[in-house]
Amino acid sequence: MLAAVQGLAWTGSGASLGALAVFFIKAGAFTFGSGLAIVPFLHQGLVEDHHWLTEQQFVDAVAMGLISPGPVVIMANFAGYLVFGLTGAIVATIAVFLPVYLFVVIPGGFIRRHEQHPRLQGFVKGATAAAVGAIAGAAIVIAGQVIEDRRSVLIGLIALAALLQPKVKVPEPAVVAAAALVGLIAFG
């Protein structure tokens, strides 16, 4: 990650600010249940479609999001910075929040008044199921990018065991940070 950010940049040349804003508005609109649900969408757009980020920069953006509260906002902010400097970070952050404001905050009172309606409950159940599938897709995308050999498989299995062990709840950011440290040591 240290190689990805070198100094402070106010602007960049990786994209137009309008294209960056539209992309992150779409990303924010598809976030439901968990920020990780949109990782495949972000990967497709940032790496494969627009070529704004490299695979390594994308993995770094996901890692930055996972070690801090609000993974979508941090991923958007970090990716926006890599694409268009500080201006891109600001635009990406505002754009990823815009749909949440428009679709959740503004109509929140209406939704709360009708939360027991069967159709609204059906929508929430369906959207939750879709989010679970998207999170599984995110795990597959990320695993395909970072699991390269036996050492990385071992790190992943130990991290999974730490998360699934029932006696002590290990915070996800701590597991990500520990796995990153082990990866730095193991892979130099």
User: What are the tens digits of pLDDT across the range 105-145?
Assistant: 788 888 788 889 898 889 878 877 877 777 777 778 778 87
pLDDT value, residue 1: 38
What share of the chain in percent tops pLDDT 70? Answer: 88
Whole-model pTM: value is 0.65
Distances (CA, A) of 130 to 37, 123, 180: 9, 10, 29
Taking the C-alpha atoms of residue 40 and residue 121, their distance in angstroms, rounded to an integer, is 26
Q: What's 94's DSSP letter? A: H
User: What are the tens digits of pLDDT across the range 8-54?
Assistant: 556 566 678 899 999 999 988 877 656 667 788 888 999 999 999 99
Is residue 89 a contact partner of residue 12, using CB atoms and an 8 Å limit? no
Taking the C-alpha atoms of residue 96 and residue 151, their distance in angstroms, rounded to an integer, is 35
Average pLDDT taken over every residue of the chain: 82
Q: Which phi-psi region, left, alpha or beta, contains residue 170 (left: φ > 0; alpha: ψ -120 to 50)?
A: beta
